[in-house]
């Protein structure tokens, strides 16, 4: 194998795939990236056995071939080479990859490409195309709620499925950590109606989101019960899905919350942020007291004192008092882009619904906190 490639091209491709490679591996070859030179293309593959990214870039291939070498090392080398450098990759014998650019030359140990794990090629019966912006929105607005507690593994991802909102078919992303929940919809793409509900693991969500920055236009999604693939033009990400049952989230979204509060989103977020300065480091509790057209936020801490702030809001309902984790409130408030936010409350112990008044397609559910 002998190829010449432009530094920027190689760097961006390595940048995309190397995130998949774990820093520490018990299987040595998982630290490596698979390089395959063929025709006028170089393809790079990295995997952690659950998630695989393949990216194909143009290169000047004088001799085809394939090998694997340490992904992070190669990435670091390429990153440090001067801008505009032409990089020559040569596999002289099977154990050393020569990386040469100008006066710098490196020899990297290789492992044979035959040992590189290949994800079984399954058939992915369901397939649809979705606008990159829509997919971005689904991920951005829901991923903050993904659980990190590994014992509830079935919550460690985004639940992607076909649903219906007010009679209109939707593609829906749901994430929850057991305390709060995010539900985001977009119009159902053609071909997605029959897809099974799948849980896309957090690591894949993060990588997909990273790759989405590189594309506009659309993303081709294909999936089966156990795998999902996102094709972004020159890069393709395939991941195993979380093998578990996502809880029946619709049951926990309340329908009878009749105390409706509308508040300026920015004022609200800023007030919550200010008042929460006082609440204790870990519990971060903050109290919302509502009376007609008035929202009173307060926090108390034996160490730091107390904080109070009052906002003029649109609230016709009866007086109510409810506590929340201020960090959860801020997380949700930062997902709301419109000018005003709406809170549907019931009482101090039942879930509250939060949403963007201008956006019917996203809603958030939050459990209160009690002191």
Partner 1 sequence: MTIRRLPEGTVNRIAAGEVVERPASVVKELVENAIDAGATRIDISMAGAGRDLIVVADDGVGMTRDELVLAIERHATSKLPDDDLVRIEHLGFRGEALPSIGSVSRMTLSSRARGSDAAWQLQVEGGRVSGPQPASLPGGTRIEVRDLFFATPARLKFLKTDRSEAASIAEIVKRLAMANPLVGFTLREGEREVFAYLSSSGADASRDRLAAVMGRDFADNSVAVAVERDGVRLAGFAGLPTMNRGNAQAQYLFVNRRPVRDRLFTGAIRGAYQDLMSRHRHPVVALFLDLPPDAVDVNVHPAKAEVRFRDEQLVRGLIVSAVRRALAEAGHRASSTVAAEASAAFRTGSQGAFYGPAGRANGSSGLAEAAAAFQHQAPPGAQTGQHDPDGFAPASRTTEATTGSAQHYPLGAAVGQLHETYIVAQTEDGLIVVDQHAAHERLVYERMKKALLSGVARQGMLIPEVVEMDEGAVGRVLARAEELAELGLVVEPFGGGAVIVREQPALLGEVDLKGLVRDLADDLAEFDDATTLTERLNDVCSTMACHGSVRAGRRMTADEMNALLREMEATPNSGQCNHGRPTYIELQLPDIERLFGRR
Point out which residues bind partner 1 (CB under 8 A).
Answer: 147-152, 155, 176-181, 247, 249, 252, 280-285, 301-303, 323, 325, 349, 351, 365-371
CA angle 348, 349, 351 (to 5 degrees): 100
Quickly list DSSP for 116-176.
Answer: S---------EEEEEEHHHHHHHHHHHGGG----GGGGGGSEEEEEEEEETTEEEEEEEEE
Select 106 or 249, whichever has its Cβ closest to partner 1.
Answer: 249
For residue 300, list its beta bridge partners. Answer: 306
Who's near 255: CB < 8 A, 6+ residues apart? Answer: none
Closest separation in Å from C-beta 302 to partner 1: 5
Closest separation in Å from C-beta 160 to partner 1: 18
Select 99 or 322, whichever has its Cβ closest to partner 1.
Answer: 322
Closest separation in Å from C-beta 250 to partner 1: 12
First-to-final CA distance of the chain: 67
Closest separation in Å from C-beta 283 to partner 1: 4
Select 147 or 238, whichever has its Cβ closest to partner 1.
Answer: 147
Which helix H or strand E contains 89, and what residues bound it? Answer: strand 86-91
Select 107 or 349, whichever has its Cβ closest to partner 1.
Answer: 349
Q: How far is CA 201 from CA 88, 205, 232, 358, in A?
A: 37, 6, 18, 30
Who's near 366: CB < 8 A, 6+ residues apart? Answer: 179, 180, 181, 324, 328, 329, 332, 351, 352, 354
Select 69 or 352, whichever has its Cβ closest to partner 1.
Answer: 352
Phi first, then psi: give them for residue 113, nearest 5 degrees: -65, -25
Select 80 or 370, whichever has its Cβ closest to partner 1.
Answer: 370
Extract the tokens encoding 161: 């499925």
Closest separation in Å from C-beta 141 to partner 1: 17
Select 26 or 148, whichever has its Cβ closest to partner 1.
Answer: 148
Closest separation in Å from C-beta 140 to partner 1: 21
Closest separation in Å from C-beta 349 to partner 1: 6
């Amino acid at each position: 194998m002998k190829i010449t490639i432009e530094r920027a091209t190689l760097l961006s491709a390595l940048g995309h795939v190397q995130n998949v490679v774990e820093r520490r591996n018990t299987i040595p070859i998982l630290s490596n990236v698979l390089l395959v030179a063929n025709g006028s293309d170089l393809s790079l593959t990295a995997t952690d056995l659950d998630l695989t990214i393949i990216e194909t870039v143009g290169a000047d291939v004088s001799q085809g071939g394939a090998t694997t070498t340490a992904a992070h090392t190669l990435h670091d080398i390429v990153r440090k080479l001067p801008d505009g450098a032409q990089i020559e990759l040569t596999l002289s014998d099977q154990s050393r990859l020569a990386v040469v650019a100008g006066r710098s030359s490196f020899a990297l140990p290789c492992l044979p490409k035959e040992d590189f794990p290949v994800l079984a090629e399954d058939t992915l019966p369901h397939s649809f195309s979705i606008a990159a912006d829509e997919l971005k929105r689904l991920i951005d607005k829901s991923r903050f709620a993904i659980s990190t507690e590994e014992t509830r593994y079935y919550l460690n991802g985004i639940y992607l499925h076909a649903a219906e909102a007010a009679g209109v078919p939707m593609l829906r992303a749901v994430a929850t950590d057991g305390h709060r929940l995010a539900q985001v919809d977009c119009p159902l793409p053609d071909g997605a109606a029959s897809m099974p509900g799948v849980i896309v693991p957090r690591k894949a969500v993060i990588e997909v989101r990273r790759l989405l920055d590189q594309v506009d236009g659309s993303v081709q999604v294909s999936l089966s019960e156990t795998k999902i693939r996102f094709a972004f033009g020159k890069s393709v990400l395939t991941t195993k899905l979380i093998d578990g049952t996502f809880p029946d989230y619709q049951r926990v979204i309340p329908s009878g919350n009749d105390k409706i509060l509308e508040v300026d989103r920015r004022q609200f977020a800023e007030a919550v942020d200010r008042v929460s300065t006082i609440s204790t480091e870990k519990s971060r509790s903050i109290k919302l007291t509502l009376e007609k057209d008035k929202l009173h936020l307060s926090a108390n801490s034996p160490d730091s004192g107390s904080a109070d702030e009052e906002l003029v809001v649109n609230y016709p309902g009866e007086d109510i008092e409810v506590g929340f984790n201020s960090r959860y409130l801020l997380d949700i408030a930062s997902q709301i882009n419109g000018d005003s936010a709406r809170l549907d409350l019931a009482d101090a112990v039942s879930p509250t619904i939060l949403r963007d008044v201008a956006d019917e397609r996203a809603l958030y559910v939050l459990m209160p906190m009690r002191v």
